[in-house]
Chains A and B, each alone.
Chain A
Amino acid sequence: DAGVTQSPTHLIKTRGQQVTLRCSPKSGHDTVSWYQQALGQGPQFIFQYYEEEERQRGNFPDRFSGHQYPNYSSELNVNALLLGDSALYLCASSFRQGGAGGYTFGSGTRLTVV
């Protein structure tokens, strides 16, 4: 039973560029949430996707956008990258928005902006 898969594992981008991170949820899960974790900090909620729509959003600018596909996989897009966007980006999947059955986190994508 595959868990949450995130790709790529590491990424280096230049300021001003755009980046796309990908997440495949755990089998049986239909909801995907994205979190940003800066070094030495706890994860911060970015947004959640369910039924291919953004359902909730944290305090992140419009430069952060996402998408969910019919197979429940999801993408996180960040435009006009800033140095401060350097972080570990975590994807969490669950069954339904309420997380019945629990949340499963992926291993994350480490984004470095130079």
Chain B
Amino acid sequence: SQQGEEDPQALSIQEGENATMNCSYKTSINNLQWYRQNSGRGLVHLILIRSNEREKHSGRLRVTLDTSKKSSSLLITASRAADTASYFCATTEYNFNKFYFGSGTKLNVKP
């Protein structure tokens, strides 16, 4: 299975701290994306990193990709209570258009 796995499964931090979550996957990918989900509702796209990229930034988000280790990390800096959500990584293979999602990291940012 291509499905990724996030680590840790749950993370609790204080507002203002940084949050780091990791994702591992099993086969070659076209790109890797991170999504946020609030309270079991729809998925919100955060950032996409292509297989030939190693690092990408978007606001307070920093994503790294190590294709040799088949892993990615998402760093949220200066976290806010509003960042409380579940975070999922999703991969797509070459020539395929479906996402493979991991089981997610549940982030709780305490005010």
- Known A-B contacts A102-B45, A103-B45, A107-B41; A42 and B98 likewise in contact (beta carbons under 8 Å): no
Interface string of A22-59 (1 = CB under 8 A from B): 00000000010101010111111100100000011010
Partner of A56, one of B41, B42, B97, B102: B97
Complex interface: chain A residues within 8 A of B98 (CB) = 33, 45, 48, 56, 58
Complex interface: chain B residues within 8 A of A108 (CB) = 40-42
Q: Is the CB of A98 within 8 A of B97?
A: yes
Q: Is the CB of B43 within 8 A of A43?
A: yes
Say if the beta carbon of B3 comes within 8 Å of chain A: yes
Bound Cα distance from A35 to B99, whole angstroms: 9
Minimum CB–CB distance for B45 against chain A, Å: 6
Q: Is the CB of A90 within 8 A of B45?
A: no
Complex interface: chain B residues within 8 A of A7 (CB) = none
Q: Is the CB of A48 within 8 A of B97?
A: yes
Complex interface: chain B residues within 8 A of A97 (CB) = 97
Q: Is the CB of A42 within 8 A of B104?
A: yes
Give B contacts to A, CB under 8 Å.
3, 35, 40-45, 48, 88, 90, 92, 96-104
10 contacts between A and B (CB under 8 A): A4-B42, A41-B103, A42-B103, A48-B97, A56-B96, A97-B97, A102-B45, A105-B42, A107-B41, A108-B41
